[in-house]
Amino acid sequence: MTPQMLLAVAAGGALGSMGRYAVGVLLARIMGTGFPWGTLAVNIVGSFVMGLLIEAAALRGVMSGEARAFVFVGVLGGFTTFSSFSLDVVTLVQRDQVWAAGAYLAATVVVGVLALVFGLFVARQMLT
């Protein structure tokens, strides 16, 4: 763990967190606050981008350790947050919105994993 790695993660994390916040605010304005649309959106988009970039980096092998730390741990780690996801599920359950909590949980996990697989597929199609 070098100072350069820590700075890369910190800088990426700041950008990712700002992006997550911006998406959350935007979707709350558009969709309302009764359902955690922002967290759902960033987890799905982040999963797709993670798949796309991980595969692109693997196929091209051009990312330095610092760049990987910046993008994957920092930016995407700050942007996609399953801690917020967990809180959202519990909050919905505590509001007696059990069906919404279950739908949110299933959609985030299933669609997020499918988005990552789709990102892998897109990267392979574009880069091979």
Look at phi and psi of residue 80 and say left if phi exceeds 0, alpha if psi is from -120 to 50, else beta: beta
Express each pLDDT in 12-65 by its tens digit. Answer: 999 999 999 999 999 999 999 999 999 999 999 999 999 999 999 989 888 899
User: Does 81 have pLDDT greater than 80?
Assistant: no
What pLDDT does residue 103 have? Answer: 97
User: Does 4 have pLDDT greater than 90?
Assistant: yes
| Helix, coil or strand: residue 107 | helix
Q: How confident is the model at residue 84 (pLDDT cuts 50, 70, 90)?
A: confident
Q: How confident is the model at residue 82 (pLDDT cuts 50, 70, 90)?
A: confident
Express each pLDDT in 114-128 by its tens digit. Answer: 999 999 999 999 998
For residue 12, say whether it is annotated as part of any ligand binding site. no
C-alpha–C-alpha distance, residues 107 and 113, integer Å? 10
For residue 2, say whether it is annotated as part of any ligand binding site. no
Q: How confident is the model at residue 96 (pLDDT cuts 50, 70, 90)?
A: very high
> Tokens standing for 120?
């892998």
Structural domain that includes position 81: 3-127
Read off the pTM.
Answer: 0.81
C-alpha–C-alpha distance, residues 30 and 126, integer Å? 33
How many domains, in total, are found in the chain? 1
What pLDDT does residue 35 have? Answer: 96
